[in-house]
Structures are given as C-alpha cells and as structure tokens.
Amino acid sequence: DLARRNLDSMSNRDIAAFWSGLPRLLHKRGAQDPNLEEKLRCVIGTTCTRMHSFQCRDLAQTSLGIAKTISQVSRGNRQYRANDPLHFIRRLFVKESQCSPLFDSIASSALGMLNEFDARHLSNLIYSFGLVERNPDIGGETLFDVSGKTAVRILQTFKPQELSNMLWAFVKVDAKNSRLFQETGGVISGMDLDSFKPQEQSNILWSFSKSGEANPELFRVLGNHIVARRLNDFQPQHLSNIAWAFATAGVSHPILFKKIRDHIA
C-alpha cells in the first residue's frame, strides 16, 4: 500500500527495493487488501514506464525480485483463495502473461548498458531470466548471447554464488555458450574451493553436465575437493546431483562415488 500511495515520489532505487522485498512480504501474508490487484497493476505500470532510466543495480534488483515472486506463485499446483495476494499475483503474471512483456522490457533496457554491469548485478540479471525461463531476442541475438559475452570479460570478478547462479540459468533456458562454460571452468579450478558452499558445487557440476559442456579437469578438481571434506554439510539432493553429474558426463571418480555411498549407507 505504501508503494501505491507514494509512486510519484519514489525513486528508481525505491521501486527496485519494493520488488526486491515483495517475495519476503508474501511469506508474511497478513490482512487482505481488496484493492491489491489495482495497486499492483499501478506499480507494474510505473515500473515499465521508468525502467529505461534504471541504473544497472536497480534493473537487476527489480528483475530478480519479480522473477522470485513469479517463481514463488508458480510453484506446484497449489490453489489459493480468491482474496489471497498470491492468487492475484499468479493471475497477473502467469495467467495473463504479464511476465513476457515485462521481461522483454527488462532485456531491452539492459542491452545498452550491459558493459556497465558488475559481476553481482550481471549474475542477478541472468539468474532472474533463468528463474522465469525466458531468453528474449534482442536485435538478432538473445539476451543470454550478449550477457554471456559480457560475463566472459569479467569472469575473474565473479564470486562462487554468482558463478553458480549464472551457469544454472544458462541451462534453464537452454542457452548454448561453450566459451563461457570453458572459461568459467578454468576460473573455478583456480579459485579457493573452500569458498564454495555445497549447493554451489552441486549446481556447478549439474550445470556443466546438463549443458553438455562437461569439463573433465573441473570435475576432477571439484571431485577431489569433495572427497577431502566431510559430507555432513551436503544435503541428499546435493549428493544426488553430484553423482548424477559425474555419471552423465562420463567422468569416473571411484573414490568420490564410494565416499557418497558410504555416507548415505
């Protein structure tokens, strides 16, 4: 309600912060607002109108917030009450297909300033499109084509989560980029692997295998690292994804497989 009442006075940073906070707010659903749908449409309209003037941070933050919201309301086949905010949002973004033109606008706005994005905001932008599984065509190339070229130039500045999210998104939209995967594999192999969380290691291996860009050296380095640590921090899904990735990529690591089997047993 605050966003709706103060739209005219909100800065681009404020609008981005609204979208960034919306997924968390939806988890705390309180009293129902009968005018919620109208207010959301106004915020969406203002966002689209002003998007061309957003800076990189604001655009990436807005894109990620909207994508997380859509992902949240699209999960499973859950039915919501007619006055539930999630019901309105699902109808707005999913059933009315507001998602497509909105993300097309985000892609168009990002195109002219991709070279200004730092690793964090570029990764968040790419990840958001992966969440909604969209890869818009912009000027004869796709968003993932041009963002991949930008990512390659600044790969050395990416943190583990940013690399993991980016690779996962490329797989989710089925965007092929052998150079990006090859160079990312080299960068990861030379990083401090202790800085990678179990989910990030699992996602990276899964992404390389799923994309058909399996990197034997990267698999060897990550496999050896996983063998050298305790597996208590790994959830069953992480271990399942790791085993699947090695098997699918055709990369043998008997010691790793034995350690996973012994841990599960």
Query: What is the CA angle 91-169-117, rounded to 5?
Result: 100
How far is residue 11 from each of residues 5, 46, 64, 111, 151, measured CA to CA in Å?
13, 11, 18, 22, 28
Token duo for residue 217:
């050296």
Please give the residue that has the higher pLDDT: either 183 or 41: 183
Return the higher-pLDDT residue of 72 and 201: 201
List helix spans (H) across the chain.
2-5, 12-27, 36-50, 56-74, 85-90, 99-111, 119-131, 143-153, 160-172, 178-189, 198-211, 216-227, 236-249, 254-264
Q: What is the pLDDT of residues 232-244, one digit of tens each?
A: 999 999 999 999 9
What's the pLDDT score for residue 236? Answer: 94
* Cα separation, 34 vs 255, whole angstroms: 59
SS3 11: coil
pLDDT of residue 206: 98
What is the per-residue pLDDT for 189? 95
Does pTM surpass 0.85? yes
The whole-angstrom distance between residue 182's C-alpha and the CA centroid of its chain comes to: 20
CA distance 188 to 184: 6
Q: Can you give the pLDDT at residue 96?
A: 55
Which stretch of 36-40, 53-57, 165-169, 225-229 has the lowest confidence by average pLDDT? 36-40
Res. 29: pLDDT tops 60: no
Comparing 117 with 29, which gets the higher pLDDT?
Answer: 117
Is 223 or 90 the better-scoring residue by pLDDT? Answer: 223
pLDDT at 28 over 80: no
pLDDT of residue 79: 73
Examine the pLDDT at 149 and tell me if it is beyond 70.
yes
Per-residue model confidence as pLDDT tens digits over 31-79: 566 677 777 888 888 898 899 999 999 999 999 999 999 888 877 667 7
Counting residues of the chain whose pLDDT is more than 70, the rounded percentage is 92
Average pLDDT over the chain, rounded to an integer: 90
Tell me: the pLDDT tens digits for 84-107?
Answer: 777 777 777 776 566 778 899 999
pLDDT at 239: 97
